[in-house]
Amino acid sequence: MSSNSLPETSRPNAHRIGTARSALNAAMWARGEDFPISDEAVINLLADLRHFCIARHINFTDCNRIAEGRFNAEIDGDAP
């Protein structure tokens, strides 16, 4: 099975960080921002995700709560 078909929880943290960095870079490019990844870039991406969730009728608050739980499990070494 290729790494592209693995569920996200099976990928190493370095791969996940790289994916997040790519998402931040893409969001910054789409906004026309040209500064190093910073707090502002993360804030803008989170705001964009909120807009996306509203447009798709996805509950951002629930998604964020679940993501926080998964993140904490990964940090604690409890993730599958």
Q: Are 34 and 28 in contact (CB under 8 A)?
A: yes
Give the integer Cα–Cα distance in Å for 50 and 28.
Answer: 16
Total domains in the fold of the chain: 1
In a domain, 39, yes or no: yes
What does each of the 80 residues of the chain score in pLDDT, given as a tens digit?
444 554 555 667 888 888 888 999 998 899 898 888 889 889 999 999 999 999 999 999 999 999 999 999 988 887 55
Q: What was the pLDDT predicted at 9? A: 55
Identify the CA nearest to 24 among candidates 2, 6, 42, 47.
42
Q: What was the pLDDT predicted at 2? A: 43
In a domain, 17, yes or no: yes
In a domain, 63, yes or no: yes
In a domain, 71, yes or no: yes
Domain with 25, as residue range(s), is 8-76
Tell me the whole-structure pTM to 2 decimals. 0.69
Q: What was the pLDDT predicted at 38? A: 86
Q: What was the pLDDT predicted at 31? A: 87
